[in-house]
Chain A
Amino acid sequence: MDLQILWFCLIAVLWAGYFLLEGFDFGVGMLLPFLPEGEADRQTMLRTIGPVWDGNEVWLVVAGGATFAAFPAWYATMFSGFYLALVLVLFFLIIRVVSFEWRSKSETPGWRALWTWANTIGSAGAALVWGVALSCLVYGVPIDSDGDYAGSFWDLFKPYTVFAGLAVVVLFAFHGATFLTLRTVGDLHARAEHAARRLALPAVVLAGVFLIWTVAVAMDRNDKDLFPPVLPAVLGILALGFGLIFLFRGNNGRAFTMTGLGAVSVVATLFVSLYPRVMVSSTDFGNSLTVEDASSSHYALAVMSVVALIFVPVVLAYQGWTYYVFRHRVGDEPLASPPTEAPSAGM
């Protein structure tokens, strides 16, 4: 198999992993101010994603690094072109990271509320911008004949791309809610189920319209046929539809599997719609960046392929193991009892 295509697929896989994993912890963040009755429930919600959110975020770091290494021209044009959008993403991700660590450091309600909202805004904001940015790759942005971005910040916002951003936000909220139905007990569990049921229909409709719209955009603006983009799109719509059905039948485990599949299908649809280009030019279609032209040399790709072949299975194994270790519902077990006390807080 051609290494350039392999790496295009690998980057798609990394984004899919990011949407699948960070998708639900973004969703939990978005629901944080709305779902719980009180502070104890809110802490329980944070504990459901506590052990894993950081590892989930690394999928983004690796996706960025892999794009830099395998498709330098794509990385250069996309990151310099989407400049202010990425500053926004960084802002959202930073306040979110900090909220996890600092929220518990003071008891005052104002402090807690501040970091609750920082987490929510960070989660929703980052999801929104990623939805806009990735859909822009297919929709097309102004690119000049040197392969440089030739537009402004506002060129990223078209009806389709803004809709994509909203669809991703709602999809993640839904995905996060189904995740919570698996990781909580009691009243919080009931609330999570209720939220998931209320989010199901909007998520199915918004994501469904977005997926169909993406196929139409790919045919209209990226010279694609109905096949193959329609395949992952239909898969995504079916998955989310089944997610809704499973949810109302009380089969939360299957519902979560389906929302996860929905998140993966969104990325799959975007990347299948994109190939063989990596960034479509809206000014002159001929200026579009292609997999062929944007990639690194064969040797560099070969080296990284060997590295990926070794480490991707290892990473999947230990991250999978992490989810196994923390498979219990939070609140269902006696709280962690530390073996001893520790010295005083002081520093």
Chain B
Amino acid sequence: MTLAVSTVDLARVQFATTSLYHFLFVPLTLGLAPLVATMQTIWYRGGDEAWLRLARFFGTLMLINFAIGVATGLVQEFQFGMNWSIYSEYVGDVFGAPLAIEGLAAFMLESTFLGLWIFGWDRLSKRIHLACVWLFALGTWLSAFFIIVANSWMQRPVGSHVVDGRAELTSVWELMTNRFGIWAYIHVVLVGLTTGAMLIFGVACWHFLRGRNVEIFRKAAKLALIVGVPISALNLGVGSHLGVVITDYQPMKIAATEAQWDTCGPCSFSLFQIGGFTEDDQTPTFSIQIPHVLSLLATDSWNGQVQGMNEVQSEYQAKYGSGNYVPPVRAAYWGMRVMAYFGTLVFLVAAVGAFLYRRKRLERTRWFLWIGVVAIAFPYISALAGWILSEVGRQPWIVQGLLKTADANSPSVSSTTIALSLAVLGVLYLVLTLLNFVLLRRYARFDPPELGGEDDEFAMPAVSY
């Protein structure tokens, strides 16, 4: 029995859903790890126990988050071989190396030192115990580096050549220093820090609203703002520079992102538009444009020329043979805008928060505290939209210019099989999400435990097995 849907489409749906789900957990770990380590460091150096309590409090969240990230990350690693066997065989020589190195050099470090940190409070000296949380943080950042190296090779294949129909590594140095990868990596870790800072800030706002633990969470809010304001601002700049880098290597992605069918120069940036997303309907019925901004974003110059999709399409047809090289324009266009708009909102929330904090009015400005709580979601929305832009915008390629997605899936796997696994994983992920939500809500209703009480959950984070 086979289903009518093509196996490639199903495999793509499965990859997209499981990756996006996985990426709900990654940025928070990337951000919370160094922030929790910072809290513990402040306690270690100054002896202020409020910081220790904060490190333990957010350490528990970090742990739960990390564990689900591990479980869903395993799905990602297996999935390349399961659904994309042709891809795996084609790229393993190059793409496999950073994945294997990630496991050995980074993931081992993270997992081992997180275990040491959680269970080592009374087993290790303060100094060694502090080193454990920093090594955990280092592990998470190294992990992200190798994964981004692998992904960036799909966006801009370097350090390799194609022999007998498969890619072979020729320079590991070029692979690791891919210009695309460096900028993407900076972008991703800054997103992580922003996500972590906004979570801490949001939780602090929640406590201000309830009027509990205000003294402690004022310190947390301060740290979150010190990190959140400059980092979210910096990341807007880094993201915009990444756009310039993409223009050099993936002109079609940039053109699709801007729904730019014809080559322009100087180019206006479309803030919002209706229509203009398909080949048959290239002119939007309504749009708001800002002159010169697209030129600036894509080329770093006031009057820079940006290639349109029609032109890149003819170029690619001449280069790669006939076919449609235009990615789904609507997804790329809105992916970019949701990413950028929410990224900007994050900065604004952090900036207003910092202003109110300076004026000592933060804890009393209730309307803003609610915004602070809701804003926990903003970096997530921004990051997920960014990944949709990055991956959908690369289509029809799975490896830019080398291998098409449609030619890369597993020939031996039927659509029924994928549908079955999609159902199993889909239901499992859904149940995980619901239970997680119920647990967090339950906690929100709890009163603070008595000091030294038996069920003082956060006094002993996660030794609570």
**Contact residues of A with B, CB < 8 Å?**
43, 46-47, 50-55, 57-58, 60-62, 64-66, 68-73, 75-81, 83-84, 86-87, 89-91, 93-95, 97-98, 100-106, 146, 148-150, 153, 296-297, 299-300, 303-304, 307-308, 311-312, 315, 318-319, 322, 325-326, 336-347
The distance in angstroms between the C-alpha atoms of A315 and B119, with both chains bound, is 19
Interface pairs A-B: 8 shortest CB-CB: A72-B92, A79-B81, A344-B448, A69-B96, A62-B103, A80-B410, A76-B85, A80-B85
B74, B86, B94, B118, most chain A CB atoms within 10 A: B74
Residue in B closest to A54 when the chains form the complex, CB atoms: B111
Whether the pair A347, B91 counts as a contact (CB closer than 8 A) is no
A-B contacts, 9 listed (Cβ < 8 Å): A50-B463, A68-B77, A72-B96, A76-B89, A296-B168, A299-B168, A303-B169, A343-B53, A346-B207
What residue of chain B has the Cβ atom nearest to residue A82's Cβ? B82
- Size bracket, chain B contacts: 35 or more
Contact of B77 among A43, A55, A65 (CB under 8 A): A65
Q: Is the CB of B465 within 8 A of A43?
A: yes
B112 touches A319 (CB 8 A): yes
Contacts of A105 in B (CB 8 A): 439, 442
CB within 8 Å of A: which of B64-115? Answer: 64, 67-68, 70-75, 77-78, 80-83, 85-86, 88-97, 99-105, 107-109, 111-115
- A77/B85 contact (C-beta < 8 A), A91-B428, A149-B412 known: yes
Tell me if B206 counts as interface (CB < 8 A to partner A).
yes
Q: Is B13 an interface residue (CB 8 A)?
A: no
A100 to B440, CA, bound (A): 16
Determine, out of B54-62, B309-317, B361-369, B385-393, the stretch whose residues face the partner at the interface: B54-62
Is B217's CB within 8 Å of the partner chain A? yes
Across the interface, do B56 and A94 meet the contact criterion of CB distance under 8 Å? Answer: no
Q: Whole-angstrom distance from the CB of B99 to the nearest CB of chain A?
A: 4
A346 touches B54 (CB 8 A): no
**Does the CB pair A311–B85 fall under 8 Å?**
no
Question: Would A338 and B78 be within 8 Å (CB), given that A346-B448, A347-B203 are in contact?
Answer: no
| CB proximity of A319 to chain B, nearest CB, Å | 6
Min CB gap B109→A, angstroms: 8
Instruction: Tell me the bound Cα distance from A78 to B412 in angstroms.
Output: 11
Q: Which of B124, B212, B421 contacts A346 (CB 8 A)?
A: B212
Q: Are B465 and A68 in contact (CB under 8 A)?
A: no
Closest to A79 in B: B81
Judging by beta carbons under 8 Å apart, are A344 and B105 in contact?
no
Q: Which A residues lie within 8 Å of B432 (CB)?
A: 94, 98
Q: Does the CB pair A79–B74 fall under 8 Å?
A: no
* Min CB–CB distance A156 → chain B (angstroms): 13
Asked if B85 contacts A345 (CB within 8 A), the reply is no
Q: How far is the CB of A239 from chain B (nearest CB, A)?
A: 26
Do A106 and B442 touch (CB < 8 A)?
yes
- Interchain CA distance A344-B78 in the complex, whole Å: 39
1/0 per residue, CB under 8 A from A, across B191-229: the answer is 000000000000100110010110011000000000000
User: Across the interface, do B88 and A79 meet the contact criterion of CB distance under 8 Å?
Assistant: yes
On chain B, the residues within 8 Å of A83 by CB distance are 82, 410, 413, 417, 421
Chain B residue numbers with a CB within 8 Å of A307 are: 100-101, 104-105
A342, B456: Cβ atoms under 8 Å?
Answer: yes
State in angstroms the CA–CA spacing of A344 and B458 once bound together: 7
Instruction: Across the interface, name the chain A residue whose C-beta is closest to B99.
Output: A65
B425 — which chain A residues lie within 8 A by C-beta? 87, 90-91
Inter-chain contact A303/B172, CB cutoff 8 Å: yes
Closest to B464 in A: A104
Contacts of B207 in A (CB 8 A): 343, 346
Contact B459 A75 (CB under 8 A): no
Q: Name the residue in B71, B92, B95 with the highest tally of chain A Cβ atoms < 10 Å from its Cβ.
A: B92
The answer to whether A51 touches B93 (Cβ under 8 A) is no
Q: Judge whether A342 and B124 touch: CB under 8 Å.
A: no
Q: Which of B255-281 contact A (CB under 8 A)?
A: none
> Which residue, of A95, A97, A104, A300, has the highest number of chain B Cβ atoms within 10 A?
A300
CB distance from A107 to the nearest CB of B (A): 8
B78 touches A90 (CB 8 A): yes
Judge if B63 is at the interface, Cβ distance under 8 Å.
yes
B57 touches A148 (CB 8 A): no
Asked, given contacts A76-B89, A336-B122, A345-B449, whether A90 binds B111 with beta carbons under 8 Å apart, the answer is: no
Which one of A50, A90, A296, A297 has the highest number of Cβ atoms from chain B below 10 Å of its Cβ? A90
Q: Min CB distance, B162 to chain A, in Å?
A: 12
- Complex Cα gap A318–B100 (Å): 19
Does the CB pair A68–B80 fall under 8 Å?
yes
B100 touches A347 (CB 8 A): no
A346 touching B77, Cβ below 8 Å: no
Please tell me if the beta carbons of B465 and A100 are within 8 angstroms of each other in the complex.
Answer: yes
A336 touches B108 (CB 8 A): no
A80 CA to B86 CA, complexed, in Å: 10
Which of A299, A341, A346 contacts B53, CB < 8 Å? A341
> Cβ of B121 < 8 Å from any Cβ of A?
yes
- On chain A, the residues within 8 Å of B112 by CB distance are 54-55, 58, 315, 318-319, 322
Query: B4 contacts the other chain (Cβ, under 8 Å)?
Result: no
Q: Are B457 and A345 in contact (CB under 8 A)?
A: yes
Given contacts A80-B410, A336-B121, contact A347 B88 (CB under 8 A): no
Taking a contact as CB atoms under 8 Å apart, the answer to whether B102 and A64 are in contact is no
Q: Does B49 reach chain A (CB closer than 8 Å)? A: yes
Of A68, A78, A315, the contact of B100 (CB 8 Å cutoff): A68
Q: CB distance B115 to A80 under 8 Å?
A: no
* Contact indicator A73/B448 (Cβ below 8 Å): no
The one of A87, A149, A344 in contact with B424, judged by C-beta atoms closer than 8 angstroms, is A87
Q: Are A343 and B107 in contact, with the CB atoms below 8 A?
A: no
Other-chain residue from B80, B96, B103, B417 in contact with A296 (beta carbon distance below 8 A): B96
| Complex-state Cα separation, A106 to B111, whole angstroms | 25
Query: B435 contacts the other chain (Cβ, under 8 Å)?
Result: yes
In the bound complex, residues from chain B placing their C-beta under 8 Å from that of A103 are 465
When the two chains form the complex, which single residue of B64, B74, B103, B440 contacts A93, counting CB atoms closer than 8 Å? B74
Give the CA-CA distance A149 to B109 in the complex, in Å. 35
Q: Which of the residues B72, B91, B107 comes within 8 Å of A62, measured between beta carbons? A: B107
Contact A69 B465, beta carbon cutoff 8 Å: no
Tell me the minimal C-beta distance from A109 to chain B in angstroms: 16
Partner of A338, one of B63, B83, B85, B460: B460
**In the complex, A297→B75 CA distance in Å?**
27
B90 proximity list for chain A (CB < 8 A): 72
Contacts of A81 in B (CB 8 A): 412
